[in-house]
Structure 1
Amino acid sequence: MTDFPFRIVGFDLDGTLLDTSGDLAAALNHALASAGRPTLSVEQVKPMIGGGARHMLAQGMAATGGCTDAELNVLQRRLLDHYQANIAVLTRPFPHALDALDQLATRGVTLAVVTNKLEALARQILAELGLTDRFAAIIGGDTMGPGNGKPSRLPIDAMVARCGGGRAAFIGDSIYDITAAHAAGLPAIACSFGFLMQPVEELGAELVIDSFAELIPALERLA
Structure 2
Amino acid sequence: MTNFPFRIVGFDLDGTLVDSALDLCPAVNVALRAEGRPEVSLDVTRGLIGGGARRMLERALEVTGGPVHGARFEQLVGVLLEHYTANIAKGTVPYPGCLAALDDLAARGVLLAVVTNKAEDLALKLLAELGLTHRFASIVGGDTLGRERAKPAPDLIHETVGRCGGGSFAMVGDSTFDVLAARNAGMPVVALSFGYHDVPPAELGADLLIDHFDQLVGALQALG
Matched with 2:189 is: 188
Matched with 1:35 is: 35
- Paired with 2:136 and 2:186, the residues of 1 have a C-alpha distance of 21
Query: The residue matched to 2:148 in structure 1 has which SS?
Result: coil
TM-score, normalised by the number of residues in structure 2: 0.98
Cα displacement (A) at 1:198: 1.0
- Paired with 1:116 and 1:2, the residues of 2 have a C-alpha distance of 31
- Paired with 2:31 and 2:111, the residues of 1 have a C-alpha distance of 38
Cα displacement (A) at 1:119: 0.0
Q: What does the per-residue CA deviation read over 1:42-86, in whole Å, with 9 as the maximum and x for residues that have no partner? A: 110111111110000011011111222322111000000000000
- Paired with 2:22 and 2:149, the residues of 1 have a C-alpha distance of 27
Matched with 2:11 is: 11
| Letter matched to residue 142 of structure 2 | G
| Letter matched to residue 50 of structure 2 | G
- Paired with 1:69 and 1:94, the residues of 2 have a C-alpha distance of 36
Cα displacement (A) at 1:159: 0.6
Q: Which moved more, 1:103-112 or 1:70-79?
A: 70-79
Q: How does 1:142-161 map to 2 (within 5 A)?
A: 142-161=143-162
Q: What does the per-residue CA deviation read over 1:183-207, in whole Å, with 9 as the maximum and x for residues that have no partner? A: 1111000011110111111111000
Query: The residue matched to 1:171 in structure 2 has which SS?
Result: strand
Query: The residue matched to 2:139 in structure 1 has which SS?
Result: strand
Q: What does the per-residue CA deviation read over 1:3-62, in whole Å, with 9 as the maximum and x for residues that have no partner? A: 111100000000000000110111000110111110000110111111110000011011
Matched with 2:109 is: 108
- Paired with 1:120 and 1:99, the residues of 2 have a C-alpha distance of 26
- Paired with 2:116 and 2:70, the residues of 1 have a C-alpha distance of 24
- Paired with 2:25 and 2:129, the residues of 1 have a C-alpha distance of 19
| Letter matched to residue 212 of structure 2 | S
Structure 1: any 5+ residue segments left out of the alignment?
none
Matched with 2:134 is: 133
Cα displacement (A) at 1:112: 0.2
| Letter matched to residue 106 of structure 1 | A
Tell me how many residue pairs correspond in the alignment.
Answer: 223
Matched with 1:162 is: 163
- Paired with 1:193 and 1:176, the residues of 2 have a C-alpha distance of 15
- Paired with 2:107 and 2:148, the residues of 1 have a C-alpha distance of 36
| Letter matched to residue 34 of structure 1 | A
Question: Is 1:120 matched up with 2:121?
Answer: yes
Matched with 2:61 is: 61
| Letter matched to residue 192 of structure 1 | S
TM-score, normalised by the number of residues in structure 1: 0.98
- Paired with 1:33 and 1:117, the residues of 2 have a C-alpha distance of 23
Cα displacement (A) at 1:146: 2.8
- Paired with 1:69 and 1:44, the residues of 2 have a C-alpha distance of 25
- Paired with 1:134 and 1:199, the residues of 2 have a C-alpha distance of 30
Matched with 1:23 is: 23
| Letter matched to residue 198 of structure 2 | M
Structure 1 runs of 4+ with >4 Å offset: none
Root-mean-square deviation (Å): 0.8
Percent identical across equivalent pairs? Answer: 55
| Letter matched to residue 26 of structure 2 | A
